[in-house]
Structure 1
Amino acid sequence: MGETDSTGMSDAPAGGRGRRAALLLVGVAIVVWSAMHLSALGASWTQAWHLIANLGWRWPIFLGVVWLLGLVVHTSVLTASLPGLSHRRALTLNLSGSAVSNVLPLGGVAGTALNLGMVRGWGHTGLEFARFVVVSKAWDLVAKLVMPLVAVALLLLANAGPLGHGLLWLGCSALSAGAGLLVVAALMGRAAPLLRLVALAERLWTRRPRRTRSAADDPDASPGWTAATAALLDGTDRLVRRRWAELSWGMAGYWLLQGALLWFCLAAIHVRLPLPVVLAALVAERLLTLAAITPGGAGVVEAGTIAVLIALGADPTDALAGVLLYRAFVFVAEIPVGGLATALWLLGRRQAA
Structure 2
Amino acid sequence: MKNKWVQIGLSVASLALAATLVRFLPQIVAALTGKHVSWTQIGAQFARLSWQMVALMAVVWLASLLAYTFVLTASLPGLTHSQALTLNAAGSAVSNLLPFGGAAGVAMTIAMTKGWGFPLRAVVVSTLSSGIWNTMFRFVLPAVGIVALLLSGQELSPAVTNAGWVGSLSLLALVVVVAAALYWDRAAAVLGRALDAVARLLPRGVRPAEHTLSRALEKLRADTSEVVRHRWRGLTLGMVFFLGLQWLLLVCCLQATGAYPGLAQSIAVFALSRVLTTALVTPSGTGIMEAGTVGALVFFGAPLDSATAAALLFGFWTYTVEIPFGGLALGAWALLRRRENAASASDKEPISR
Report TM bin, short chain.
Answer: 0.7 to 0.9
Match of 2:234 in 1: 246
Structure 2 CA distance, aligned partners of 1:30 and 1:172? 33
Q: Residue by residue, what CA displacement relative to the aligned partner does 1:21-80 show, whole Å, maximum 9, x if unpaired?
A: 8x9599769948875341242241421232123313222221011000011011111100
8 Å Cα contact 2:97-2:283 kept in structure 1: yes
Matched to 1:68, the amino acid is L
- For 2:73, give the aligned amino acid: T
Whole-Å separation in 1 of the counterparts to 2:36 and 2:105: 35
Counterparts of 1:67-78 in structure 2, within 5 Å, are: 67-78=61-72
Counterpart amino acid of 2:107?
Answer: A
Change (3 A) 1:192 1:343: same
Map Cα deviations across residues 297-316 of structure 1 (whole Å, 9 max, x no partner): 11122222222222333222
What SS is found at the alignment partner of 2:200? helix
Alignment of 1:322-341 (within 5 A): 322-341=310-329
Residue in structure 2 matching 1:84, options 55, 78, 81:
78
Q: 2:51 aligns with which of 21, 45, 57?
A: 57
Task: Tell me whether 1:119 sits opposite 2:113 in the alignment.
Answer: yes
Which residue matches 1:170? 165
Deviations 1:307-336 (A, max 9, x none): 222233322222211111011001000000
Cα deviation for residue 288 of structure 1 reads 1.9
| Residues 196-233 of structure 1: per-residue CA shift (max 9 Å, x gap) | 4543454344x2546x9x98xxxxxxx94543343233
Which residue number in structure 2 is paired with residue 199 of structure 1?
Answer: 196
Q: 1:246 to 1:18 in 2, by over 3 A?
A: closer
Aligned residue for 1:188?
A: 183
Answer yes or no: is 1:264 the counterpart of 2:252: yes
**Count, aligned residues:** 332
Which of 317, 333, 352 is equivalent to 2:305? 317
Between stretches 73-82 and 23-32, larger displacement belongs to 23-32
CA RMSD, aligned part only? Answer: 3.1
User: In the aligned structure 1, how far is the partner of 2:225 from the partner of 2:236?
Assistant: 15
Stretch deviating more after TM superposition (144-153 or 160-169): 160-169
Contact 1:147 1:177 in 2 (8 A): no
Say if 1:116 and 1:29 are closer, same or farther in 2 by CA, change over 3 A.
closer
What is the 5 A alignment of 1:336-347?
336-347=324-335
Tell me which structure has the larger Cα radius of gyration: 2
- Gaps in structure 1 of 5+ consecutive residues: 3-11, 216-222
| Structure 1 pair 203–150 and aligned structure 2 pair: CA distance change class (3 A) | same
Do the aligned partners of 2:87 and 2:112 also contact (CA within 8 Å) in 1?
yes
Is this contact kept in 2: 1:80–1:246, CA < 8 A?
A: yes
Of stretches 79-88 and 293-302 in structure 1, the one that deviates more from structure 2 is 293-302
Residue ranges of structure 2 left out of the alignment (5+ in a row): 342-353
- 1:277 Cα shift? 0.5
Q: Is the 8 A contact 1:63 1:261 kept in 2?
A: yes
Change (3 A) 1:172 1:85: same
TM-score (norm 2): 0.84
Aligned partners of 1:228, 1:66: CA distance in 2, in Å? 39
- Structure 1 counterpart of 2:350: none
C-alpha spacing 1:98/1:193, structure 2 compared with 1 (3 Å): farther
**Match in the other structure for 2:27:** 36
Identity of aligned residues (%): 35
Distance 2:240 2:283 in 1: 26
* Residue 94 of structure 1: aligned partner: 88
Q: Distance in 2 between matches of 1:196 and 1:34?
A: 47
Aligned CA distance change for structure 1 residues 271 and 300 (closer, same or farther; 3 Å): closer
The two structures have a TM-score, normalised by structure 1, of 0.84
Distance in 2 separating the partners of 1:80 and 1:241:
11
| Higher share of residues assigned helix | 2
- The 3 A distance-change label for structure 1 pair 315 and 224 is farther
| SS of aligned partner of 2:97 | coil
- When residues 195 and 311 of structure 1 are mapped into structure 2, their CA distance, relative to the original with a 3 A threshold, is farther
